[in-house]
Amino acid sequence: MIVGERKPMEEIEAMIDPFEKIIVLGCRECVTVCSAGGEKEVGILSAALRLSREQKGRTIEIKEFALERQCDHEYIEQIRSMVPNYQAVLSMACGAGVQFVAEFYPEIPVLPAINTNFIGVTEEQGYWTERCQACGNCVLHLTGGICPVSRCSKSLLNGPCGGSSDGKCEVNKEIVCGWQLIIERLKSLGQLERYEEYIPIKDWSTSRDGGPRKVVREDLRL
Amino acid sequence: MSEESFEPKIVAFCCHYCAYTAADLAGSMRLQYPPNVRIIRLPCTGKVDVLHLLRAFEDGADGVYVAGCMEGDCHFINGNFRAKKRVHYAKKLLDEIGFGGDRLEMFNMSAAMGPRFAEVAKEMVERIKKLGPSPIKKAKAQKGGDES
């Protein structure tokens, strides 16, 4: 899932300062699961914003709403009749959601309430970690199911660097060395010989280096 | 509203298995405690959510507290620890927006601690009296004063 976290209140308050009627728009997908921008977080943020405003002697009218997704046309359409009655949309979706809502409603400012962090997993309740950088060319079959692109700080493809010590990364002792994990996993799979295989230089054009990406499936297009 | 005549409105979220029963006991013992405290009974403080705490303030509470079982004695094992973390989060949020996290607190007591319940109620009322009316009420009073 896409993992995010709410921006500091100060930043959000500054963003919405000129407005008196806003929609706080949640998303029921990834950001609901990581408790950053779901229906509940919409309620909490809206309550905090009202408290903050009212104590300054100002008012704010907030429409609390959550869409099934903010990355699909049909759901974004659901707020079309609402939008003309408000001055801004404060979206609690990931960066993709914020932008897509903005594309649909060019007449109204659409502001981000959360910072989008990474594609990751829930290790335990309240604890999320990164697993994928969407490089567009998966090598997990070669590396024991552990991603060297996202788990190694340098995204090295052939073994750990000199900064790996006691299984930890030199960037931060809390980061486990991705390549240490890969070697241990290959050992337990009885595939350590794979470690000897050389992975050629990766073509990063499928990643961000090739500019904004797209996927087109002609069989699915209408 | 002058500071002296200010009688705060305080909402207390109380666990059924401890603080709520302690309040009952305080009553049976004929203990006096300030009438400013409005009690909301919960099946466990683990039921309390950040949203409930903020809504209480939005609806005019000057102070809010959550009263759960002694640490380690929760009927549902760790509900009071969950409440403690949520109260901490809400306090931080209230500080962030300048409302004041001090207006919110978490207490622990057992069902046998009637006197402690009365003491906590007094303690919280005194604290909120010192802090004054909720910033929302202050702003409204000031606005009313400016207009008149």
With bands split at pLDDT 50, 70 and 90, how would you rate the model's confidence at B144?
A: confident
By the CB < 8 Å criterion, does B98 face chain A? yes
| Mean pLDDT, range A114-137, rounded to an integer | 96
Tell me the residue range of the domain where A140 lies. 133-205
Q: Last residue of some domain: A89, A118, A147?
A: A118
- Percent of chain A exceeding pLDDT 90 equals 97
- Chain B's closest residue to A8, CA to CA, is B96
Does A86 fall in a domain? yes
Statement: residue B148 has pLDDT above 60 = no
What is the distance between the alpha carbons of residues A149 and A199, in angstroms, rounded to a whole number? Answer: 12
ipTM: 0.92
SS percent in chain B: helix, strand, coil, step 5: 50, 15, 35
- Provide the pLDDT for residue A30: 97
Give A56's contacts in chain B (Cβ within 8 Å): 139
How much is the pLDDT for B5?
83
pLDDT in tens, A196-216: 999 999 999 999 899 999 999
Instruction: Find the CATH number of the domain harbouring B32.
Output: 3.40.50
Query: A49 contacts in B (CB within 8 Å)?
Result: 97
Contact by Cβ (8 Å): B122, B30:
no
Give the model's confidence band at B4: pLDDT under 50 very low, under 70 low, under 90 confident, else very high. low
Res. A12: pLDDT tops 90: yes
Q: Is residue B2 part of a domain?
A: no
A43: CATH: 3.40.50.2300
Examine the pLDDT at A98 and tell me if it is beyond 60: yes
- Residue A93 pLDDT > 70, yes or no? yes
Considering only CB atoms, which chain B residues are within 8 Å of A47? 51, 54-55, 57-58
How far does B54 lie from chain A, in Å, by closest CA?
Answer: 6
What are the tens digits of pLDDT across the range B50-107?
999 999 999 999 999 999 999 999 999 999 999 999 999 999 999 999 999 999 999 9
Same domain, A15 and A88: yes
What average pLDDT does this structure show over B17-35? 96
- A212 within some domain: no
Domain that holds residue B86: 10-147
Q: Counting one residue from A and one from B, how many pairs have CB atoms under 8 Å apart?
A: 53
The residue of A35, A51, A52 whose CB has the most chain B CBs within 10 angstroms, and thus the best one to mutate to test that interface, is A51
Query: pLDDT at residue A128 above 60?
Result: yes
Q: Cβ(A129)–Cβ(A140) under 8 Å?
A: no
Check CB contact of B115 with chain A, cutoff 8 Å: no
- Rounded to an integer, the average pLDDT of A97-120 is 98
- Residues in B closer than 8 angstroms to A40, CB to CB, are 49, 51
Distance CA(B26)–CA(A187), nearest Å, equals 65
Q: How sure is the predictor about B142, in pLDDT bands with cuts at 50, 70 and 90?
A: confident
- A82 in a domain, yes or no? yes
Classify residue B45 by its DSSP letter.
G
- pLDDT, residue B110, reads 97
Determine whether the interchain pair A9/B93 forms a contact, defined as Cβ–Cβ distance below 8 Å: yes
Whole-Å CA distances, A214 to A105, A109, A119, A136, A204:
22, 26, 18, 10, 15
